[in-house]
């Protein structure tokens, strides 16, 4: 007997939206990758702009937060990769960003400029 994978409605919705977001990013959406948000002021400025968006304004969330589908790296050192999988806002089992202003399904290898360790 084959084992059937049970998928919850939330997983299905996450998977669908993740795929839509990936498509948007792969099709050349220009996002604000830099400057990175290292200071409190920079973080506040980006978060403030994200707070002006509606929950479903996915494109502008991607733009303002500076999403990329590969890890951002400020230098040549692989250890310095800024990827969702090492970010404090990343929920591993759900593959989800729980930063309140984003709340989006993501992939472990994506990145944004609000990355925090
Ligand atoms: S805040 Fe962290 S988990 Fe969320 S998208 Fe940015 S890098 Fe990924």
| pLDDT value for 3 | 65
pLDDT surpassing 80 at residue 6: yes
- Ordered by start, the domain boundaries in the chain are 10-105
Taking CA atoms only, the protein residue closest to ligand 1 atom 8 is 84
Is 13 within 8 Å of 21 (Cβ atoms)?
Answer: no
Residue scoring higher pLDDT (75 or 24): 24
35-92 pLDDT, tens digit each: 999 999 999 999 999 999 999 999 999 999 999 999 999 887 777 899 999 999 999 9
| pLDDT value for 47 | 98
Residue to mutate, 25, 64, 106, ligand 1, most ligand atoms under 8 Å from C-beta: 106
Is 18 within 8 Å of 62 (Cβ atoms)?
Answer: no
| Residue 5: how many other CB atoms lie within 10 Å | 6
84 CA to middle of ligand 1, Å? 5
Q: Indicate if ligand 1 lies below 6 Å from the C-beta of 72.
A: no
115 CA to middle of ligand 1, Å? 5
| pLDDT value for 57 | 98
């Amino acid at each position: 007997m084959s084992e059937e994978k049970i998928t919850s409605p939330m997983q299905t919705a996450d998977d669908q939206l993740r795929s839509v977001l990936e498509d948007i990013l792969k099709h050349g959406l220009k996002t604000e990758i830099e400057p990175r948000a290292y200071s409190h002021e920079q973080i506040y400025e980006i978060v403030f702009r994200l707070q002006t968006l509606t929950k479903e304004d996915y494109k502008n969330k991607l733009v303002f937060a500076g999403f990329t589908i590969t890890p951002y790296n400020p230098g040549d050192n692989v250890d310095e990769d800024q990827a969702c999988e090492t970010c404090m806002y990343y929920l591993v089992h759900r593959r989800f960003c729980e930063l309140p202003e984003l709340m989006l399904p993501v992939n472990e290898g994506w990145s944004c400029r609000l990355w925090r360790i």
